[in-house]
Copies of this chain bind each other. A is one copy, B any other.
Amino acid sequence: GAAAAATASAAVADPYASDPARHPAFIARSERPYNGETPGTLLAASPITPNEIFFVRNHLPVPHVDATSYKLTVEGEGTRSLELSLDELKSRFRKHTVTATIQCSGNRRNEMSRVKAVKGLAWDQGAIGTAVWGGVRLRDVLKAAGLSEDDPLVRHIQFEGYDKDPASGEIYGASIPLHKALSLHDDVLLAYEMNGEPLSADHGAPLRVIVPGVTGARSVKWLRRIIPSASESSSHWQQRDYKAFSPNVDWDNVEWTSAPALQEPPVTSAICEPAPGTPVSVSDGEITLRGYAWSGGGRGIIRVDVSTDGGATWTAAKLLPPPPGAPPPGSSYTGAWAWTLWEATLPLPKPSDDGNLPSTLQLVCKAVDSSYNNQPDAIAPIWNLRGIVNNAWHRISLPLEP
């Protein structure tokens, strides 16, 4: 009686009280909602990111959805309504797996905020990870609901999550274009497995969307409803959040409708090892760098250039073998949904004749994707008020010692 009432009232007071425990290796970027980043050295250590250290990006409290009573609803234009339990999904549709990288569009925002303040979580380069996702094809479920490829009333597939803003009641939502949802090549999944294990609470249990090659915000977790529609999701996150503008546009003059919602992100890369600030002894003679590179839209990585002199000279890094299930780097014009890890061993500068040595080593990396897209050099010209899609060259500075 009294104890139960007290618990209920505490739950109302703290919607985050039942959030799951997180791995101690995470760098927490916010606690309520929880957002946790994977340290760079752990990222570069494995082409598949272990589940327990895969970055967590929550917009709202973690909903607890019971897998046995779970229902997915498909309801909208051009389809008959469909309600599916998790068992029905697994038994009615063929299982597919896709090796795909998921990246938050705010990845590397911290660097952008050093140019000028932006609004958002202060991620370094660890709001990204790669997993083998297992589930059924969104395409197959839409076909089962009767959707026709050329229905003129359907241009977007909207998703709603079970997560809800405790104050406003707003439900997390996003959408993707119809052609992406239906393409056989694009492998959009309704996933119930991550690296062979059932999804955890933080990653969307029991069912989430995985949209390969598209920014993480569209891979809706704790999936509740699929809504075929003539229009995009009307959610805050589709209409007013994940968009970038000219550097002269700030909160006082932004027109949200003037830019499209981010879907495929541009080519990016980062140095994960050594960590910034690690002292380097010139007497070692050489230094080994490790990192990742990735591009949206299934564009594979064809080259990563690295520099030890701030970008004056460049050397191509070695591209490492792909994660299981992903095509080798450079082999494919499309369908490269997973990142490419790379490494490079470079000579360290030698002291000049008078014994002078630069005081820091300026490491830089930049990647090229299969459309020969290059990363922009500097951050200021791509600065945007929400601090998204920072894909400028990644630079880190290390103190040089004799």
Q: Which residues of A contact B (CB under 8 A)?
A: 177, 179-180, 185, 244-249, 259-260, 262-267, 296-297, 302-303, 305, 311, 313-316, 330, 333-334, 366, 368, 370-378, 381-382, 389, 391
Contact pick for A315, options B246, B370, B371, CB 8 Å: B246
Given the known A-B contacts A179-B334, A260-B330, A263-B333, are A247 and B305 also in contact in the complex, defined by CB atoms under 8 Å? yes
Contact A374 B371 (CB under 8 A): no
Contact B370 A260 (CB under 8 A): yes
- In the assembly, what is the distance between CA of A375 and CA of B313, in Å? 20
Q: Which residues of B contact A371 (CB under 8 A)?
A: 263-266, 296-297
Q: Which residues of B contact A180 (CB under 8 A)?
A: 333
Contact pick for A262, options B177, B311, B372, CB 8 Å: B372
A214 vs chain B, min Cβ distance (A): 10
A369 vs chain B, min Cβ distance (A): 8
Q: Can you sample 28 A-B contacts with CB below 8 Å?
A: A177-B333, A177-B334, A179-B185, A179-B334, A180-B333, A245-B316, A246-B303, A246-B305, A246-B314, A246-B316, A247-B305, A247-B314, A248-B315, A248-B316, A260-B330, A263-B370, A264-B333, A265-B371, A265-B372, A266-B371, A266-B374, A296-B371, A305-B381, A311-B381, A373-B373, A374-B376, A376-B376, A376-B377
Which residue of chain B has the shortest Cβ distance to A213 in the bound complex?
B371
Q: Which residues of B contact A378 (CB under 8 A)?
A: 377
Q: Which residues of B contact A368 (CB under 8 A)?
A: 244
Given A246-B303, A247-B314, A266-B372, 12 additional A-B pairs, CB 8 A: A245-B316, A246-B305, A248-B313, A259-B330, A260-B330, A264-B333, A266-B374, A296-B371, A297-B297, A297-B371, A372-B389, A373-B373
Contact A267 B316 (CB under 8 A): no
- In the assembly, what is the distance between CA of A316 and CA of B382, in Å? 12
Contact B260 A302 (CB under 8 A): yes
Contact B389 A382 (CB under 8 A): no
Contact pick for A259, options B302, B311, B373, CB 8 Å: B302
Q: Which residues of B contact A264 (CB under 8 A)?
A: 333, 370-372
Q: Which residues of B contact A377 (CB under 8 A)?
A: 376-378, 381
- In the assembly, what is the distance between CA of A389 and CA of B368, in Å? 12
Which residue of chain B has the shortest Cβ distance to A316 in the bound complex?
B246
Contact pick for A267, options B259, B330, B373, B391, CB 8 Å: B373
For the complex of A and B, the 8 pairs showing the least CB-CB separation, nearest first, are A377-B377, A264-B371, A266-B373, A246-B316, A374-B376, A372-B389, A266-B372, A177-B333
- In the assembly, what is the distance between CA of A371 and CA of B381, in Å? 17
Which residue of chain B has the shortest Cβ distance to A149 in the bound complex?
B184
- In the assembly, what is the distance between CA of A374 and CA of B380, in Å? 12
- In the assembly, what is the distance between CA of A264 and CA of B371, in Å? 5
Which residue of chain B has the shortest Cβ distance to A366 in the bound complex?
B381
Q: Which residues of B contact A314 (CB under 8 A)?
A: 246-248, 381
- In the assembly, what is the distance between CA of A374 and CA of B244, in Å? 11
- In the assembly, what is the distance between CA of A186 and CA of B21, in Å? 47
A390 vs chain B, min Cβ distance (A): 10
- In the assembly, what is the distance between CA of A382 and CA of B375, in Å? 10
A288 vs chain B, min Cβ distance (A): 18
Contact A259 B374 (CB under 8 A): no
- In the assembly, what is the distance between CA of A372 and CA of B105, in Å? 11
Given the known A-B contacts A334-B179, A371-B297, A372-B265, are A259 and B303 also in contact in the complex, defined by CB atoms under 8 Å? yes
- In the assembly, what is the distance between CA of A185 and CA of B180, in Å? 12
A315 vs chain B, min Cβ distance (A): 6
- In the assembly, what is the distance between CA of A177 and CA of B334, in Å? 10
Which residue of chain B has the shortest Cβ distance to A375 in the bound complex?
B376
